[in-house]
Amino acid sequence: MPPPPPPPPGPRRPAALLILAFLTLRRAPGAAGLEYSDVLPDSFPSAPAETLPHFLLEPQDAYIVKNKPVELVCRANPATQIYFKCNGEWVNQNDHVTKESLDEVTGMLVREVQIEVSRQQVEELFGLEDYWCQCVAWSSAGTTKSRRAYVRIAYLRKNFDQEPLGKEVPLEHEVLLQCRPPEGVPQAEVEWLRNEDVIDPTQDTNFLITIDHNLIIKQARLLDTANYTCMAKNIVAKRRSTTAAVIVYVNGGWSTWSEWSPCNNRCGRGWQKRTRTCTNPAPLNGGSFCDGQPFQKITCTTLCPVDGAWTEWSKWSACSTECTHWRSRECAAPAPRNGGKDCSGVLLDSKNCTDGLCLHMLEATGDVALYAGLVVAIFVFIVILMAVGVVVYRRRCRDFDTDITDSSAALTGGFHPANFKTSRHDNPQLLHPSMQPDLTASAGVYRGPMYALQDSSDKIPMTNSPLLDPLPNLKIKVYNSSTASSSPGLHDGTDLLGGLPATGTYPGDNTRDSHFANVRNKALGSQHLLSLPREHGNSASGTFGYLGGRLTVPGTGVSLLVPHGAIPQGKFYEMYLVLNKAESALLPSEGTQTVLSPAVTCGPTGLLLCRPVVLTIPHCADVGSSDWIYQLKTQSHQGNWEEVVTLDEETLNTPCYCQLEAKSCHILLDQLGTYVFVGESYSRSAIKRLQLAIFAPTVCTSLEYSLKVYCLEDTPDALKEVLELERTLGGYLLEEPKPLPFKDSYHNLRLSIHDIPHALWRSKLLAKYQEIPFYHIWSGSQRALHCTFTLERYSQASTELTCKICVRQVEGEGQIFQLHVTLGEHASSFDTLRSHHSCATTTTTTQLGPYAFKIPLSIRQKICNSLDAPNSRGNDWRLLAQKLSMDRYLNYFATKASPTGVLLDLWEAEHQDDGDLNTLASALEEMGKSEMLVVMATEGDC
């Protein structure tokens, strides 16, 4: 029920009551006979006058979107009551929501009333007038009405009243595109799109949008050729018109005429022409071609050419002092003209005019020239003969005496003084630069005792104990060649050489092999063999002596080079190299520090080394960015990681030297132990190199099919570990891993799958993408990070899957894999994986003696003798370090007995894969060491 209207405004009630009481008291006699007029004052204070209600908030126009009701609110003070009246009728009191509060400034009561208007209420209204509501507020002073608020149902029709039409317009003409949006409440706003980009006339003044929503292109440009769409929108919906294609065409225009061509006839009447092209401008986007002819012709007449002819000879001149006289003629009968040919022949003619009186002088002059010619010819012949003799002498020399003859002339092919880039045709042993040296070709004879021997039965066995457990009780196994005791543990020379590399064997007869076996028997004695840590596929070991050698963990990029002379004369060390994969071996993360390489143990620790060994480990830093701080850390016996050196901060007390390359780090060490290469980004711009590898199951018998995407550090050992893991899980590599630069930017790695054939497959991933947290990747302490995409096929008959997998760092680089998988046909890929793994496990891990080095020992000694001594001009080992880019901290090499030898050790470690001696030979040539090159090339031929 509507509320009863309040009473009409009248005199104030407090004033009326006071007057009434006053009159009553004056008429009533008092008990004491006193008049009340003697007690009451003459006047009473009146209450303050109350004002009419004032609206602080009036109801506003509103639109009903779909079926959602709208709220109308009004607020007023002072107000004893507020009610809504809609379309002339009071709104039910129960439909009002009233709130009261105090005005903080005036302290007056503020009343607020709210109602809801539904779509049904608006639709039930009949008539031309819109649905409206207004507030009525009461106070003791009277009533106040608010403005009318209109409530309308919002909508937007689907069809445009007028849509833009495509046009073809000439360049620089005006274009008008008309658009009348669909009918709607509220009225739709219009904006124009050009190739789906919103047109902003304030940014491009060539566009104008009129008040009636038409688009005007003031001067059509070529870039205005596009698809234009009119888009209308209001609070209900958006509507798009049909797309109008506007093509701005260019009519062709003639270029200027070319010059007239020469007359086509060289003699007589002919013609000549000139041309023009329709390129000013060329017709474009369907513009018309130029009107008219592209060429013009006119007639021409050319004078015929006249060839020249000789006149008769003149008379002979008088006899000169040289006993000759002359005669002449001219090319003037006729002279050549109009392009005719000139006369052929001599202009002057001469002959002897003394009938033999000048003959003696002529013969004397001729004899002198003859004798001079003979002398020159004889001199040239002698010089050539001497040169040939020197060359023949150098090629035939064979008497140089060295301790060890180089295993192949191929090793010195890079030192040929004439050409370091090509092989020598007269010596088939010299290799082409692109080929690896064949260490078995033309092998020489070993002339001295051999100490670096190895027997599989005497090797220290490796255990599966924790790799980084402290080894304080580990005894160093040392074999002394002077030991008198013998051991029956060796059988023959074949067993002795069992540990030699397959790429090269020690040449010699059976007698010499027996001698080696006896030396080894005496060296081993009866010493106790201790257990060394071993992990299958991630370790290598070998016995080394004075001649040195190399340990390599196959497929990981990790190796240890033991230079010649690093182990004392007569000693043998059983050495090992291990990649630490145990959880206890992981380096704890510190701030923005990240692990860049595997943790590698070379041992045993405490060995006495006469010169540094070279440990090579791969890393995953992008050395192209200069935002890295590189550090080498080692693990103590207590298990704590300690800093060894920070690159570019070396001092004379630094115990090692790091040579950083694009994908590996070569470390010169005086002490064996456990090492890891780490980096820290100091400007949040450093980049790690990652590799992405996708694996799929080799056998799929169910409807589900999973694709694993591994995010690995870009090092060989990381990929090898995942290959072995997936091999045990029954997975195979779908395609070659792809690189991904990962920036220190706190952004995660996002992986998503796209373009799945939804008619045959569906993804079981609930989210649109998966993410690997940034810290998990950047720390480098978590191995085999991966995400799995599980798909489900609707039928077992679906045996093919095509999709795309996108991997990218948020706001960074990314990679896309386009996959096409045939379920059940995985043999070739699996075979590739298996061959990859077997190849990695069967590669030679140990090389002994000369076979571990690219530079023959004799050549190495001569280089050291030549460059070790300081030179005032700097043409010594320091210049060699500069040429080989090893001069980052020269003081380290200066403290060594043979700086050149340490540089060559580092060069050997850098070039263990390619073995290209040309770089070293080129450096020596640039240093002006030609005399060394001649000797080295001669030794290669001798």
pLDDT digits (tens, 9 = 90+) for 619-651: 999 998 778 889 999 998 888 889 999 998 888
**DSSP conformation class of 90:** E
pLDDT at 463 over 60: no
Nearest 5 degrees, angle CA 577-CA 580-CA 582? Answer: 150
Name the token pair of 600. Answer: 């590698």
pLDDT at 931: 64
- For residue 459, is pLDDT > 60? no
Q: Which amino acid is residue 855, in one-letter code?
A: I
What tens digit of pLDDT does each residue of 770-789 get? 999 988 888 877 778 899 99
pLDDT of residue 45: 52
* Nearest to 808, CA basis, from 695, 688, 692, 914: 692
What average pLDDT score do residues 262-270 get? 82
Tell me how far apart the alpha carbons of residues 383 and 373 are, in angstroms, rounded to a whole number.
Answer: 16
Q: Is the pLDDT of residue 23 over 50?
A: no
Q: Band the pLDDT of 106: cuts 50, 70, 90.
A: confident
Q: Determine the pLDDT at residue 585.
A: 67
Chain centroid to CA 876: how far?
Answer: 39
Please give the residue that has the higher pLDDT: either 437 or 880.
880
Nearest to 182 by CA among 165, 164, 153, 161: 161
> In the prediction, which pLDDT does 420 show?
35
The model's pLDDT over 661-672, given as tens digits with 9 standing for 90+, comes to: 999 999 999 999
Q: Give the type of residue at 219.
A: Q
Q: What is the pLDDT of residues 39-92, one digit of tens each?
A: 445 544 555 567 889 899 999 999 999 889 999 999 998 888 999 999 989 999
Query: Which pLDDT does position 849 carry in this prediction?
Result: 81
> 3-class DSSP state for residue 209?
strand
- What pLDDT digit, counting tens, does each position of 387-446 carry? 888 888 777 654 433 333 333 333 333 333 333 333 334 433 333 333 333 333 333 333
Q: Quote the tokens at residue 456.
A: 């599989």
Average pLDDT taken over every residue of the chain: 77
Q: Which residues pair with 820 in a beta bridge?
A: 802
- Lowest-pLDDT choice from 588-602, 655-669, 691-705, 730-744: 588-602
689 — pLDDT class (breaks 50, 70, 90)? very high
pLDDT attached to residue 127? 73
What is the share, in percent, of the chain residues with pLDDT greater than 70? 74
Pairing mode, strands 558-562 and 613-618: antiparallel
pLDDT greater at residue 227 or residue 9: 227
Give the model confidence (pLDDT) of 301-344 as tens digits: 888 888 899 998 888 888 877 788 888 999 988 888 887 888 98
798-847 tens-digit pLDDT:
888 999 999 999 888 899 999 999 887 544 444 444 444 444 444 678 88
Query: How crowded is residue 513: how many other Cβ atoms within 10 Å of its Cβ?
Result: 17
Among 278-282, 447-451, 541-545, 868-872, the range scoring the smallest mean pLDDT is 447-451
Query: What is the amino acid identity at position 240?
Result: R
Dump pLDDT digits (tens) for 516-555.
334 344 443 333 333 444 556 789 999 999 999 999 999 8
Q: Of 208-222, 407-421, 677-691, 857-871, which range is least confident?
A: 407-421
At 3-12, the pLDDT tens digits run: 545 443 433 3
pLDDT, tens digit, 9 for 90 and up, residues 731-762: 999 999 999 999 988 889 999 999 999 889 99
Q: What is the CA radius of gyration of the chain?
A: 52
Rounded CA-CA distance 477/729 in Å is: 40
Give the pLDDT band (50/70/90) at residue 616.
Answer: very high
Q: Which is higher by pLDDT, 458 or 330?
A: 330
pTM for this entry: 0.48
- State the pLDDT at residue 551: 93
Count Cβ atoms below 10 Å from residue 397 Cβ, excluding itself.
12
Q: Cα(52)–Cα(78) distance, rounded to whole angstroms?
A: 7
Among 676, 664, 652, 475, smallest CA distance to 585 is for 676
Would you state the pLDDT for residue 126? Answer: 76
**pLDDT value at position 468?**
35
Mean pLDDT lowest among 184-193, 350-359, 427-436: 427-436
